[in-house]
Amino acid sequence: MALAFAPRPVAPELAGHYRAEGLWDDSTLGAVVARGLQDHPGSRIRIWSRDRPYDGTFGDVADVARRLAGGLRAAGIEPGDVVSFQLPNWMEAAAAFYAGALTGAVLVPIVHIYGARELAYILRQAAPRAHVATPRFGHLDYAEIIDGLRADVPSLEQIVFVGDDVPSWGTPWSSLAEAPPVAGPAPIDPDAPCVLGYTSGTTADPKGVVHTHRTLLAEVRQLTYDAPPSIAPLQAPPGNRPVLLASPVSHATGMLGGLLSPVVTGSPINLLDRWDPAHALAAMLDGDLTGGGGATYFLTSLLDHPNLTSRHLEHMRYVALGGAPIPPAVAERADSLGISLVRAYGSTEHPSVTGSAHADSRDRRLYTDGRPMPGVEVRIASPDGHDLGPGEPGEITTRGPDLFVGYTDAALTAARLDTDGWYATGDIGILDEQGYLTVTDRTADLIIRGGENVSAAEVEAVLAAMAGVAEVAVVAAPDARLGEHGCAFIRPMPGVSTPDLEAIRGYLRLSGLARQKWPEEVRGVDEFDRTPSGKVKKFVLRARLRDEAPPPQARP
């Protein structure tokens, strides 16, 4: 079944510009995957898993992917059909992605921590003909979940399971992966959808984000851009160690950094299937890898771990962060340990908007999110839609060759994408005179206290530098008098007690932060609920506070 979706048309003059600049061509995802696997057959792929480790080559995985693609074709999957998969960072996840690309399918990668509610929502909306999963992983029984929703997803014709204990109604992975291999990628229109990605859960319901072959491959070109360091954001100097990646390949960061960019460049692939700082630190030394990239949490959890040594720091000389707020205290801590930190800004909708380079000045690397990537435009808009000048905060709006073509929800597309191709991100930021962007807040993270806007990110940045604080998330709590007030959820350092409200206020007083911005509530947490990319699920914290709030008093 093909994806029921009407893409936002790209203005002809804009499309012509992208082609003229070499940011768009007529390649397809399947063709790029096939060529990359063929050109780099000896490149190594390792899965650093305690449950399903793997050590092989691109050539090995290419053989599995071609056979799986043959099995999918024999099962009736045609170009344009929707194929979903929900797997941890295993070899089979890479093979399923590559196989789907070779068949010309619209791929729906689903993060492996999603449970029954999220999976049902996505499968009903995406309507895949085939779905690939494992019977169980961690605490989730995927076979039981899928069995419970099969009747509600009539499009599902083939449910393929990786591993043992395949249910009677499922198809074993081996029955498809042993099929005769396809000779090459299926031809398909490069303007057709190729990936339907779902946002990673910072809001209650995931949003379906559609990328075409052109937009996704433009992003790959940006990440593998062959240019001097001064204009090649995020790239570590030549000779840097391979990266150990924990972001799920079913998330934009993992898919691009773990499956697509390496296939183009021939760089080794090293993936973790679950985040365990001790295991990651051991893998870094065993495999001579660099670690700590991605969301801020991946770096801080390594730096906080008792197993960290000077040898690990030597392996972390170059780190790129993005996907979650980066408090100045974290950036400064990394810098003090000899880590060259670069920052990036993007989203599932527009994966790489800006990035800084290791050749940038210290302040630009630590305190800004970099300059626009090749072909990308950034504007800062006022509430009435006018452009704002350098240093003036407003909503970040973006446009570029790698920008998605719409949501599965047409109303949401109309609300966030205008007719000139600009995307309203919902984030707040400023541009400096040289075009460096600093993301200062999300509109959803503003606390409206007595009619005054308080930036949660600003308060978090100050509290993150407080002794004993490992991580902090500030959100709006209901307030009968003020409407909202700030509540600070704090994860303390190991062996340290959560500071009380009096201690926090004393610290904020010394910091000079305006009194009206101080949190009026503090909660200690052992760990935060997180998205697969490491972001704190703030909507969970806000919902908890709403549920605990007393009902409004009825008027006499």
In 3D space, the residue among 444, 432, 317 whose CA is nearest the CA of residue 371 turns out to be 432
pLDDT at position 553: 41
Distance CA 252, CA 445 (A): 22
Tokens coding 286: 């065993």
The answer to whether 408 and 123 have CB atoms below 8 angstroms apart is no
Confidence (pTM):
0.84
Distance CA 395, CA 393 (A): 7
pLDDT at position 237: 67
Helix (H, G, I), strand (E, B) or coil at 528: coil
pLDDT at position 228: 38
Which string of b and e fits 364-376 if b means at least 16 CB within 10 Å?
bbbbbbbbbbbbb
Distance CA 518, CA 509 (A): 9
Distance CA 298, CA 534 (A): 7
pLDDT at position 452: 67
Distance CA 305, CA 364 (A): 28
pLDDT at position 202: 42
Q: Which residues pair with 270 in a beta bridge?
A: 46, 244
Bin 468: left if φ > 0, else alpha if -120 < ψ < 50, else beta. left
pLDDT at position 381: 93
- The crossing angle, in degrees rounded to 10, of helices 501-511 and 456-463 is 100
In 3D space, the residue among 129, 151, 114, 123 whose CA is nearest the CA of residue 83 turns out to be 129
pLDDT at position 405: 95
Count the neighbouring beta carbons within 10 Å of the beta carbon of residue 488: 26
The answer to whether 162 and 133 have CB atoms below 8 angstroms apart is yes
In 3D space, the residue among 537, 50, 52, 59 whose CA is nearest the CA of residue 263 turns out to be 59
Token pair 């949190």 in the structure block, residue: 519
Distance CA 75, CA 182 (A): 13
- List strand residue ranges (DSSP E) for 157-268, in order: 158-161, 171-172, 193-198, 208-212, 244-245
In 3D space, the residue among 156, 149, 151, 157 whose CA is nearest the CA of residue 126 turns out to be 156
Burial grade of 161 (CB within 10 A; 0-12, 13-18, 19 or more): buried
Question: For each of the chain's 556 residues, which pLDDT tens digit applies?
Answer: 677 777 888 889 999 999 999 999 999 999 999 999 999 999 999 999 999 999 999 999 999 999 999 999 999 999 999 999 999 999 999 999 999 999 999 999 998 888 888 888 899 999 999 999 999 998 889 999 999 999 999 999 999 999 989 999 999 999 998 999 999 999 999 999 999 998 754 445 678 999 999 999 999 998 886 443 434 455 666 667 899 999 889 988 899 999 999 999 999 999 999 999 999 999 999 999 999 888 888 898 899 999 999 999 999 999 998 876 677 888 999 999 999 999 999 989 999 999 998 989 999 999 999 999 989 999 999 888 899 999 998 999 999 999 999 999 999 899 999 989 999 998 889 999 999 999 887 766 778 786 666 878 888 989 999 999 999 999 988 876 666 899 999 999 999 999 999 999 999 989 877 788 899 999 999 999 987 777 888 888 988 888 886 654 433 2
Tokens coding 395: 């909503």
